[in-house]
Amino acid sequence: MPTQDCQHHSDNALNVTDLHWHAGERTILKGVNLQLAAGKMLGIIGPNGAGKSSLLRCLYRYLTPSQGQICLFGKDISHYPLKAFAREVAVVLQDTPQHFDMTTEQLVMLGLTPHKSALSLTSQADHFAVAQALEKVGLSHLAKQAYEHLSGGEKQRALIARAIVQQPKLLILDEPTNHLDIRYQIQILELLHSLGITVVISIHDLNLASAMCDQLLLLNQGQGIAQGMPSQVLTEQLIGDVFEVCCAVAPHPQHQRPQITYYYGYQAGETHAGGNDAS
């Protein structure tokens, strides 16, 4: 078990130190470190199999690390009682629940569970909190609609509303934009960025990650390759080395953060003019 004192990291919302996780004989995470200030949005990027979901599962205590320490607001996450941890951390997973026999409003109300005793009744303040969360995600008009009849983007927004009602200090999302139209991808990431809480999100689209995240952590083969602002992480060299593609990186015309243009012709083994060597 870790012996370090989390108080040394109390200035940050999240500190991960030398994190390892093994699945049987396989090492999935190898010495991952990250630091995230309160109120910032961290995007975890990397190829398939890089360890993104495994890292998130360690952060929300679904997995127990084989080695290392995770500090949340200056306290080791293993020291939180289960219900107290649920009040601090909310999780939105990649796949939305299916066959939920409840309305959108009822689903969002589940976010109140960590704050309620088993026998407590739903108060007027609870209903107001749910209504506010639905308004924030743009679903007030679908409050009475059956959750399972919502579109993919609407389901994700409902799950985020449930997380908002939970009032967490840390919100963790595993590829919430997967399978969504680009409009909903942008909308959900803009919503997350506007919440003013600490957010950790895994994401495939590097241009979206660049535009919307304050910090990025690049993983490859279970190791942290780089962490910093998008301009520090999304370089032609790093993208070429980790993703094995050729690209050009230039400032986006709107927000000036890195915008990645990819070169094509891998199947035919062509030379990719203007790109870096991805071999």
Domain extents for the chain? Answer: 6-234, 244-279
Q: What pLDDT score was predicted for residue 9? A: 56
Q: What pLDDT score was predicted for residue 249? A: 96
Q: Which fold has domain 6-234?
A: Rossmann fold (3.40.50)
Q: What is the pTM of this model?
A: 0.87
Q: What pLDDT score was predicted for residue 181? A: 82
Q: What pLDDT score was predicted for residue 25? A: 86
The ranges of the chain with pLDDT < 50 are 1-3, 273-279
Q: What pLDDT score was predicted for residue 176? A: 85
**How many C-beta neighbours within 10 Å does residue 242 have?**
19
